[in-house]
Structure 1
Amino acid sequence: MRETRRDVPSAGADDAVLGRLSTLDRFLPIWIGVAMVVGLLLGRGFTGLDDALAAVEVGSVSLPIAIGLLVMMYPVLAKVRYDELGHVTGDRPLLATSILLNWVLGPALMFALAWLLLPDLPEYRTGLIIVGLARCIAMVLIWNDLARGDREAAAILVALNAVFQIVAFAVLGYFYLEVLPGWLGLDQATLEVSMFDIAKSVLIFLGIPLVAGYLTRTLGERAKGREWYESTFLPRLGPTALYGLLFTIVLLFALQGDTITNQPVDVARIALPLLAYFFLMWGGSMLLTQALGFDYQRATAVSFTAAGNNFELAIAVAIGVFGVASGQALAGVVGPLIEVPVLVGLVYVSLWARRFYPGAVPTPSPTGARP
């Protein structure tokens, strides 16, 4: 009888995880922290900054901030393989599991954690609920690759999430922010949310870069092929998303300096439901996919897609609906500061957990080269 091989990653392979991240991605929490400090100093050094930013607006968002939001969203959506959507129905268990985790369990879990841990902080609570609705369409590809997940499955799920957010985000946002709290008898007296305002922000800050990203990929691949597009063009375009994010964070913290410095404990409390969310979503997804008989690669793609969030969109919606100086926007900014180190840690946990998935999965080399 042939012995089934179990994949046990080497220590050297695990050590290569951080090495396979780009310098920008590896130190993302540090860049975000620096942007926060710069923003705080800028807010203290320049009075009347909010009036200057409000001089020209796009959909109730100041033009400089709107530009920053669009710049951080466009490269993300230029990475999506839109042609993979045609393969979604080919793996119905994968599709059904991803939809359940991303669009039913994920938002419900963040809603529960936000109300449980932030009952007295309605603005931050609302911001986290918005984060829970913004499903991951960017960084998940990095985490999935590092954890040796199924790259094609991850690309399909990312494409699905990108399109699904256009259709469902406003409806789900209104449900979780207005309808469900009323059904449960929760106090939402301080919050009034318009589904139209949410939809408008989604259409501007997701719709415009989505169209631009789709056209960029289509025309780029048609002109020079997919290999050139993904190996040459995307690495050059990718860092602009981080620049847009950091620019937005600088302005946001410049306008929120007093709130942040006077209430640091409140900001720290935002991190607690985020930490719980990442661990519960990833761990629960891995257990569910294993129980359903998924192999390691597909289970990893589904789990990281379910655990990650599209903080770019969450920040854009929070700013568009509630304003750049709102607690909702601040909650969105804290998100990537927590997500990056946590999900890097979960990559290591995922590599360790492969031993519990039977099958012939090649052991990666110590250099971290992808098989």
Structure 2
Amino acid sequence: MGKTSASSRQPVVDKMSTLDRFLPVWIGIAMAAGLLLGRWVQGLDTGLDKVQVDGISLPIALGLLVMMYPVLAKVRYDRLDTVTADRKLLVSSLVLNWVLGPALMFALAWLLLPDLPEYRTGLIIVGLARCIAMVIIWNDLACGDREAAAVLVALNSLFQVVMFAALGWFYLSVLPGWLGLEQASISTSPWQIAESVLIFLGIPLAAGFLSRRWGERAKGRQWYESTFLPKVSPWALYGLLFTIVVLFALQGEQIASRPADVVRIAVPLLAYFAIMWGGGYLLGAALGMGYQRTTTLAFTAAGNNFELAIAVAIATYGPLSGQALAGVVGPLIEVPVLVALVYVSLFLRTRFRDSTESPDVPREVEDAR
């Protein structure tokens, strides 16, 4: 990594729109609004919870789909081969997500919540649910490699379908038994996980791919990237804010009524996000991946699929269980922490000489801001 002057840091901030520049403020307002709505509007959480199909909340699904589509529409799918050929990136991501991540959450949960078995189990489930949704937008805001993010998220999705139940059985039952600790259980099926992946990744991925394919064929790449993308880009953040409001409205009463428990759950989560993101960043920098792919590696390692974790916890232990509350607290902590890490990444960008960034590839995330 090489040093650059402070002046080279300024353009990244200057090119941000008002919406992006004050993103932490809008997210804070969205979280507060959701919590207050869930607490003050009688029956809102129950009403929202009933709007679901096969256990999937339709309002949350709508928000996530709106959030993910613009980012996946920006991906240059003809460049994905440059990512799949990067074995260092793929292997590093698999190790961070499926070896280090679950093991770290298991260790933190047992070290910091030895007296709270329900919350401990909920956190372990969170650690097993690797991110396939919000990481897309965190990576884009931090000017990470879009193509790499798309590939790593797809890879995580495949592993999630195959490995989630097996790792849940290992970390909740087998490993505690070996260590003489209290055992737990998990109830989920490969189809339940595949359904989550198909909805929250498959639909926006297909829509983004088809948008680029048809848009470029009809009017060319220049029109698509300079006219179409700037129009749809803001909807990613609108979808994010809507999702946050709905999520916290659903769980506002539970969070507000158990503040001490929320603090206990937050401590291992804070440690987890910091270690995973920092570890991913250090590993990417040490392997010489450059800023974009290092950033993508860090965010895909730190993020989690809160929708899947909450759904599994509710299906196994019930909606009012401690395990479900731990899943709900996950995004309560993850959202502000990863937003803060977006700004840390943008600051660190000035310290990289990025050999992977091609000057002929426009960055709408910067240029449109």
TM-score (norm 2): 0.77
CA distances 1:7-55 after superposition (whole Å, capped 9, x unpaired): 4211222344433333323322221221122223222332222343344
Q: Partners in 2 of 1:231 and 1:40 — Cα distance?
A: 38
**What count of residue pairs does the alignment treat as equivalent?**
342
Counterpart of 2:165 in structure 1 is 174
Q: Which 10-residue stretch deviates more, 223-232 or 183-192?
A: 183-192
Q: Is the 8 A contact 1:127 1:332 kept in 2?
A: no
Counterpart of 1:73 in structure 2 is 68
Aligned match for 1:222, one of 208, 214, 217? 217
Q: Partners in 2 of 1:127 and 1:180 — Cα distance?
A: 9
Matches for 1:65-144 after TM superposition, within 5 Å: 65-119=60-114, 120=116, 121-122=119-120, 124-126=122-124, 128-130=126-128, 132-134=130-132, 136-144=135-143
Q: Indicate how the Cα distance of structure 1 residues 71 and 144 shifts in structure 2: closer, same or farther if over 3 A, else same.
A: closer
Counterpart of 2:146 in structure 1 is 155
Paired AA for residue 219 in structure 2: K
Counterpart of 2:156 in structure 1 is 165
Counterpart of 1:347 in structure 2 is 346
Q: Does 1:240 align with 2:235?
A: yes
Q: Partners in 1 of 2:270 and 2:290 — Cα distance?
A: 21
Question: How far does residue 341 in structure 1 lie from its aligned partner after superposition?
Answer: 1.0
Q: Partners in 2 of 1:89 and 1:70 — Cα distance?
A: 25
Counterpart of 2:38 in structure 1 is 43
CA distances 1:348-371 after superposition (whole Å, capped 9, x unpaired): 24534x49x99xxx9xxxxxx99x
Q: Partners in 2 of 1:318 and 1:144 — Cα distance?
A: 27
Counterpart of 2:251 in structure 1 is 256
Q: Partners in 2 of 1:273 and 1:313 — Cα distance?
A: 14
Counterpart of 1:206 in structure 2 is 201
Q: Indicate how the Cα distance of structure 1 residues 311 and 217 shifts in structure 2: closer, same or farther if over 3 A, else same.
A: farther
Counterpart of 1:148 in structure 2 is none
Q: Indicate how the Cα distance of structure 1 residues 290 and 344 shifts in structure 2: closer, same or farther if over 3 A, else same.
A: closer
Question: How far does residue 245 in structure 1 lie from its aligned partner after superposition?
Answer: 2.4
Q: Which consecutive residues of structure 1, in runs of 5 or more, have no partner in the other structure? A: 1-5, 146-153, 363-368
Q: Partners in 2 of 1:131 and 1:270 — Cα distance?
A: 17
Q: Does 1:314 align with 2:309?
A: no
Paired AA for residue 176 in structure 1: L
Paired AA for residue 137 in structure 2: A
Question: How far does residue 92 in structure 1 lie from its aligned partner after superposition?
Answer: 3.5
Question: How far does residue 96 in structure 1 lie from its aligned partner after superposition?
Answer: 3.5
Q: Is the 8 A contact 1:217 1:229 kept in 2?
A: yes
Q: Any idea what SS the aligned residue of 1:189 has?
A: coil
Q: Partners in 2 of 1:117 and 1:22 — Cα distance?
A: 40
Q: Partners in 2 of 1:46 and 1:18 — Cα distance?
A: 38
Paired AA for residue 156 in structure 2: Q
Q: Indicate how the Cα distance of structure 1 residues 308 and 115 shifts in structure 2: closer, same or farther if over 3 A, else same.
A: farther
CA distances 1:57-78 after superposition (whole Å, capped 9, x unpaired): 2222343333223222322322
Q: Indicate how the Cα distance of structure 1 residues 260 and 338 shifts in structure 2: closer, same or farther if over 3 A, else same.
A: same
Q: Any idea what SS the aligned residue of 1:225 has?
A: helix
Q: Does 1:300 align with 2:291?
A: yes
Q: Partners in 1 of 2:227 and 2:112 — Cα distance?
A: 44
Q: Indicate how the Cα distance of structure 1 residues 131 and 237 shifts in structure 2: closer, same or farther if over 3 A, else same.
A: farther
TM-score (norm 1): 0.77
Question: How far does residue 124 in structure 1 lie from its aligned partner after superposition?
Answer: 4.9
Counterpart of 2:362 in structure 1 is none
Q: Indicate how the Cα distance of structure 1 residues 137 and 38 shifts in structure 2: closer, same or farther if over 3 A, else same.
A: closer
Paired AA for residue 258 in structure 1: E
Paired AA for residue 122 in structure 1: R
Question: How far does residue 315 in structure 1 lie from its aligned partner after superposition?
Answer: 3.4
Q: Any idea what SS the aligned residue of 2:68 has?
A: helix
Q: Is the 8 A contact 1:14 1:348 kept in 2?
A: yes
Q: Indicate how the Cα distance of structure 1 residues 67 and 88 shifts in structure 2: closer, same or farther if over 3 A, else same.
A: closer
Q: Indicate how the Cα distance of structure 1 residues 175 and 28 shifts in structure 2: closer, same or farther if over 3 A, else same.
A: farther
Q: Partners in 2 of 1:16 and 1:269 — Cα distance?
A: 40
Alignment RMSD, CA only? 3.5
Identity rate of aligned residues, in percent? 47
CA distances 1:69-109 after superposition (whole Å, capped 9, x unpaired): 32223223223332222233544344434443444434544
Q: Any idea what SS the aligned residue of 1:32 has?
A: helix
Question: How far does residue 181 in structure 1 lie from its aligned partner after superposition?
Answer: 2.8
Question: How far does residue 174 in structure 1 lie from its aligned partner after superposition?
Answer: 2.0
